[in-house]
Amino acid sequence: MPKTGSCECGAVTYRIAADEPVHVYACHCLDCQLRSGSAFAEHAMVRAASFECEGELEAYRRKIEGMVSEELFCRECHTRLFNRNDVLPGMVFLRAGTLNERQAIAPVAHLWTSRKQAWVMLPEGVPAFPESPTPAEFGAAIAQAQSSVEAAGAV
């Protein structure tokens, strides 16, 4: 089953290929708190080749540490659906809360926990990083999530 999602008004929808893993991570950094207007943001990195989006989008470009990040919104209701950047052009950074299956999300890792709001309690056994993990550390967190899914027979 492909994973699907949409903006609030439904004018923009997307689907992710069934064979593309969707590993959601929570980022507690101050930027994510500010830009989401909430305690943390949920993202998932998926390959652009596995991601299909339909509907009219509006783009907002901003520079972060020399990198150009483009944020894509529904033109009608302005729900932010995903980001992309010029450093990893083959990837789409999905705003995971826009997934239709969002109630089933269990983040595989928590980033920037040094900035997390005090009331947020993290589940035991889920990798947590005080700042951004290295790609190797993040890969290990995903591998751990994958093996616990397999152990539970949920694949």
- Binding of Zn ion at residue 32 (CB under 5 A)? yes
**Measured from the CB atom, is 32 or 72 closer to Zn ion?**
32
- Binding of Zn ion at residue 22 (CB under 5 A)? no
**Measured from the CB atom, is 70 or 76 closer to Zn ion?**
76
Please give the size of the binding site for Zn ion, defined by CB under 5 A: 9
| Strand partners for 9 | none
- Residue from 27, 44, 72, 109 touching Zn ion (CB under 5 A): that is 27
Within a 13 Å sphere around the CA of 110, how many CA atoms are in the beta-carbon half? 19
- Cα 6–Cα 8–Cα 14 angle in degrees, nearest 5: 10
For 20, 51, 103, 152, 154, the CA distances from 116, given in Å and listed in that order, are: 29, 30, 21, 29, 30
Query: In the complex, which residues of this chain contact Zn ion (CB under 5 A)?
Result: 7, 9, 11, 27, 29, 32, 74, 76-77
